[in-house]
A = this chain, B = another copy of it.
Amino acid sequence: MTIGEAAERAGVSAKRIRHYEAAGLLGRAQRSYAGYRLYNEADVERVRFIGRARHVGFSIPQIRHLLSLWDDRSRPAQDVRRLALAHWHALDTQISELQTLADTLARLIEHCQGDERPDCPILAALAGGDPILSGTTPVGGPPRPAMDNPPERSRNLRPEPLE
C-alpha cells in the first residue's frame, strides 16, 4: 500500500510517516518503480506503535529507544520500565512547574477585584516588587477560591521509585 493508505490505517498523517522515516524510526521504506513509498502490515503496526507512544508523550529519541527495545526480542522488561519511569518523572516535574505557575497566577487573580477601576494588582505585581510573585505560600496552604465545576482530577497516581 502507498503512504496515504498506511497513514489512514495507522491513524497518523502521511506527513508524519515521512517525518518518522527521516528521523530514523522507520528505516527506508520500499519504493515502487516510480518512487512511491510502499508499506505492508508490519510497517503499519510499527507506525501505530510510534503513534501510540507519541500519544502518551514519549519524544522521538525516546521512541527510538523504545523501538530498539521492541526490536530486540531478548531485552529485559526492566529496560523498558526504566525508560517509562524516567518519562513519567519528567512529566511529573513538568506538571509541578506548571502547577506552581498556575498557583501563582491564581493568587494574582485572587487579589484582583476585576472591576472598572484602573488599579489592578496583577499589573502591579508584574511591574513592581510585589512579593506575591516570589511564590511564598502562606502557612496552611494557598487559598482555595470557590470554583463552579472542579474537574475531579486524579492525583497521586504514582509508580514506584526507580530502583
Chain B residues near A12: list those with CB within 8 A. Answer: none
Contact between B158 and A155, CB atoms less than 8 A apart: no
A156 within 8 A of B: yes
How long is the Cα–Cα vector from A153 to B91 in the complex, in angstroms?
14
- Please tell me if the beta carbons of B157 and A76 are within 8 angstroms of each other in the complex: no
State whether the Cβ of A131 lies closer than 8 Å to any Cβ in chain B: no
Interface: A22 (CB within 8 A): no
- With an 8 Å Cβ cutoff, the count of chain A residues facing the other chain is 78
**A102 and B112: CB pair below 8 A?**
no
Binds B, one of A1-9, A27-35, A142-150: A142-150
Q: Is the CB of B103 within 8 A of A159?
A: no
Q: Is the CB of A105 within 8 A of B87?
A: yes
A–B complex contacts, Cβ < 8 Å, 15 sampled:
A45-B127, A56-B105, A57-B105, A70-B123, A80-B120, A81-B114, A82-B114, A84-B105, A91-B98, A91-B105, A99-B154, A106-B158, A109-B159, A114-B163, A150-B156
The residues of A with any CB-CB pair to B shorter than 8 Å are: 45, 48-49, 52-53, 55-57, 66, 69-70, 73-78, 80-82, 84-85, 87-88, 91-92, 94-96, 98-99, 101-110, 112-123, 125-127, 133, 137, 141-148, 150-151, 153-161, 163
